[in-house]
Amino acid sequence: MNLRYKISLSLIFTTLVPVSLIIFFVLWHVTDDAEKNAKQTLQNYVQLTASKLADEFNASIREIELYAQTQEVKSMDPNLFLPFFSRELERQSGRYEKLYISDKAGHFYLPFCGNPALNFKCTFDDTDPKSLPKHLKAREYWQKLVGNNKHEKAMSYLSDPVISYTTEVKQLIVASTVFGFDQKLKGMVGASIEWSRIESFLANLQANIFAQYSWQAKMMLISRSGTYWYHWDPEKLVHLKRDENGIIIKDAEDLPISVSTNIYQAPEAELHQAHKAMLAKQSGYIEFNASDTNEDSYLFYAPISSSQYSIALQVSERDVNEASYELKRLYLMVFILALCVFMIAAVLIAKAITDPISRLVGQANRLKQGNYTLDKTKAGSESDELGELSETFIQMATVIVDRQKRLEQSEERFELAMKGANDGLWDWHLADNSVYYSPRWKKMLGYGTDELDSHPSTYFNLLDPKDHKFIQKEIQKIRFSDKDSFKHKLRMRHKSGGYIHILTRGIVVRNDKGEATRLVGTHLDISEQTHTEEKIKKLNEDLEKTVKERTLKLEVANRHLNELAMRDMLLNIGNRRALEKDLNKIHQAYLTHKTLYSIVLFDVDYFKKFNDFYGHQAGDEALIQVVDCIGEHLKKADKIYRYGGEEFVCVLPNVTQDEALTMAKNLIEKVAALTIEHQASHYQLVTVSAGCAEVMAQDKTWEQVVSRSDKALYSAKDAGRNRASLIIE
């Protein structure tokens, strides 16, 4: 096989195949990460939107609760609270559409309506003293706060959007109970927020958060009942029911009837399941096939805390993963391009290696024969070009030795010329102070043969001013020393105006007395080499910087991994490895400085039965609540670790066992106060037992302290659980 084909195939099989596998692995890994990150990012944006809406709703609820505590409202006197409401509406500057009060009979009072004959209650005709008062008894929020509030509890309420009886404007009601000065329930105070303001707030959030995407965000606001209160499709929003003539239809009590669309009317069963998750205050996303577009789509959802609403975003799978698809196309193009470039490079590399060898073989054979004809009978035993080249040079050795003898005779004559004549030649005769500049020397600087004077000043006039003094000093030094040669790098001005980099090398010719009579040298244009060296230097600096940055990132990553290795990922507390590490330090401090510490070992009572009865997910949630409760009541210096499945260890520096026992009893009560249901326990609640132990003088290791706390724990269990125990040895 020809050497060229051998090299090409070797490059392909040793490099192209592994590179292809690496590219495909990177493509799969990067696109998979891109898809996961895209979905996580959208989920985070939806949760951010929910958080901002929750902040907006909570601010209104807190403000209405403050109104309920004012003297004007508590008095339930229209002469006091109506002027107060007017001032507040003016001060709020459009935040609320109206402020009003409803009494226990359901009648309500507004600043802009009221029948003077009926103590300013809003009636169907405020000019008629006999007109019937309007009421809010049909409203869910009135029933919640007043009508059904038999125990007269202080409550606040955020309603679904409703159609105003007085203005027929779609609005959101924020209301709170009102108690009189005698602490009796008197009614409720409410504020209406025009729904257009919430829609505008949502539209601004949508524009600010999702403006970076090329697709239009499809947001929806869903109530606890599944009703759409904000939707990209106007047909699905709540509106007043009208007849074929566009006239609003009213009920038996002459109140407008509203029409709404519910998520459960959607044909996709996945949307129904998503709403159930919203009701459970869960965030997440589901994948489904949208019936209106027949596209695979995602629904990202998040509950809005302190309200009965949830926010959701519907995005097609194509839009979610558009970055991933773009990456796949880019990687495919890069792979095809790299494949083509590599194939061409492999052929060119093989050709670059074999062509010179072939030429050398042919030339060597011709030189060997003297008449430039190849004697094929004397070819080497190898079948490729390298074998031929080896055989050829063996046969050339005799010819070269013969010719070398003749070359040595002329070598001495040309020695001086060979030392100086490399490129542009200059010859300075010191006796008459004249300088010969060769045509090549002048051409190097952009001048013709007849340009430039044969004088030393020509040299120094073209020299870079920065090198002027240095070169003059070096010339004087070499003239009056015993050195015979010199070499310097300098810059000279080109005829075009720029500077080129020059390597000047030369020798000193001396007379019998050792005095310098001539300076003979050459100029070599090294501009390209100098630029290359500068680039290499810059690349080395960049490489060193990159290595330092990568090293720093690696150190940060290692530290992060070490921290993760010490944490229990479910409970976000130290794990057993962290416990052993910290106890080694704490016990060593005790052995060295007698620094006291105690250990409390907690165990969740009947936890296996809890898991069997409620499931492991509920078990995990119960463990999280128990650990959070214990952690909240520990001192800053105290630490909690996961010791086993449902066992936790608290390390208490500078705490005696009696103090530890008192603290453990308090924590057991706190856990029981969580009232986590546990029907498999005779306490009917999730409880914990605890064993306490203090480090003693005979303890050589911390394991002995833990062992005593374990014994104390078993003592507490034997005594009936839901208690703390201490064993004194």
446-474 confidence digits (pLDDT tens): 898 888 888 888 888 888 888 888 888 88
Q: What is the DSSP letter of 646?
A: S
Do the strands 424-429 and 516-525 form a parallel or antiparallel pair, or are they unpaired? Answer: antiparallel
Per-residue model confidence (pLDDT) at position 392: 64
Q: Alpha-carbon distance 703 to 645, whole Å? A: 19
Place of tokens 């390298």: 386
Per-residue model confidence (pLDDT) at position 669: 96
Domain range 567-726, its CATH number among 3.40.640.10, 3.30.70.270, 3.40.50.11440, 3.30.70.260: 3.30.70.270
Q: Alpha-carbon distance 587 to 568, whole Å? A: 23
Q: How far is CA 553 from the centre of its chain?
A: 14
Q: What is the DSSP letter of 268?
A: -
Q: Residue-wise over 392-409: b if at least 16 C-beta within 10 A, else e? A: beebeeeeeeeeeeeeee
Per-residue model confidence (pLDDT) at position 97: 85
Per-residue model confidence (pLDDT) at position 363: 62
Beta bridge mates, 516: 510
Beta bridge mates, 194: 171
| DSSP element (H, E) containing 647 | strand 647-653
- Using CA atoms, how far residue 535 sits from 500, 543, 548, in Å, is 16, 12, 20
**Residue ranges of the alpha helices (H) in 370-447?**
385-411, 415-420, 439-444
Q: Which DSSP string corresponds to 687-728?
A: -EEEEEEE--TT-SSHHHHHHHHHHHHHHHHHTTSSSEEE--
Per-residue model confidence (pLDDT) at position 284: 93
Its sign, for the CA torsion 462, 468, 473, 474, is negative
Contacts of 229 (CB under 8 A, 6+ apart): 160, 161, 195, 221, 222, 223, 237, 238, 309
Q: Which long-range contacts (CB under 8 A, 24 or more apart) does 261-270 make?
A: 261/227, 261/228, 261/231, 261/235, 261/236, 261/237, 262/225, 262/226, 262/227, 262/228, 263/222, 263/226, 263/227, 263/228, 264/226, 266/291, 267/291, 270/299
Place of tokens 């809406």: 53
Per-domain residue ranges of the chain: 69-195, 213-320, 415-525, 567-726
Amino acid letter for position 404: Q
Task: Give the angle 575-581-582 at the CA atoms, nearest 5°.
Answer: 90
C-alpha count within 13 angstroms, C-beta hemisphere, residue 398: 6
Query: What's the CATH code, domain 415-525?
Result: 3.30.450.20
Q: What is the DSSP letter of 217?
A: P
Rounded to two decimals, the pTM is 0.43
Q: Return averaged pLDDT per consecutive 10 residues of the chain, 729 residues in all.
A: 67 71 68 81 88 87 92 93 91 86 93 91 91 89 92 89 68 91 94 83 82 82 85 76 74 67 88 90 91 88 86 88 74 79 76 69 62 47 55 60 60 49 78 87 87 87 86 83 83 89 87 85 84 86 84 74 77 92 94 94 95 93 95 91 92 94 96 94 95 94 94 94 88
Residue whose C-alpha is closest to residue 571's, from 516, 630, 512: 630
Q: Which two tokens stand for residue 677?
A: 């249901």
Amino acid letter for position 131: S
Cβ–Cβ < 8 Å for 298, 42:
yes
Contacts of 567 (CB under 8 A, 6+ apart): 573, 574, 575, 578
User: What kind of architecture, by CATH, is found in domain 69-195?
Assistant: 2-Layer Sandwich (3.30)
Contacts of 653 (CB under 8 A, 6+ apart): 586, 595, 596, 597, 637, 638
Neighbour-count burial of 312, counting CB atoms closer than 10 A to its CB (0-12 exposed, 13-18 middle, 19+ buried): buried
Amino acid letter for position 492: M
Domain range 213-320, its CATH number among 3.30.450.20, 3.40.50.2300, 1.10.287.110, 3.30.1600.10: 3.30.450.20
Place of tokens 């309420």: 157
Domain 69-195 and domain 567-726, same fold? Reply is: no
pLDDT digits (tens, 9 = 90+) for 218-266: 888 888 888 887 888 877 776 667 777 767 777 666 666 667 788 898 8
Q: Alpha-carbon distance 239 to 229, whole Å? A: 10
